[in-house]
Amino acid sequence: MIKTGIDLVSIKRIENSIKNPRFLQRIFSKEENLLFLKKDFKAETIAANFAGKEAFSKALGTGFRGFSFNEVEILRDELGAPFIKLSGKAKELAKGYIMSISLTHTEIDAGAVVVMIKEGVKF
């Protein structure tokens, strides 16, 4: 089984949200906030991460029911490529799936696509 999720978010909307520090604490993990610090809290980076979380929830097919935003971390590897790290209920719900994520942004919007493939599926 293959599942996909996509999301697009206004960077301006996220710029307004990050004026409240509780937004960053409630939605993003400590590790994500460290990533944002390294990137000078650029709104496009934060917006892309937010879109990634939404795209994951859509690929899963549940929306944000049964788990919280900060159980879905959108991080970067040593080359800067994004990856998803799950914990808690989100990890349980996605058990048995391999995931891939792609992030993008313009000056106005940030977007993400998540593809989830059930382990063992052959093409």
Residue of 12, 42, 58, 118 marked active site: 58
85 is catalytic: no
91 is catalytic: no
Q: Which long-range contacts (CB under 8 A, 24 or more apart) does 16-20 make?
A: 18/43, 18/46
**Residue given tokens 């049964």 in the structure block:** 66
What are the residues facing 76 on neighbouring strands?
A: 82
Strands (E), the chain: 2-10, 72-76, 82-86, 97-105, 109-118
**Residue given tokens 């093409």 in the structure block:** 123
Residue of 3, 105, 118, 122 marked active site: 105
Cβ neighbors of 66 (< 8 A, separation 6 or more) are 89, 93
Enzyme catalytic residues: 58, 105
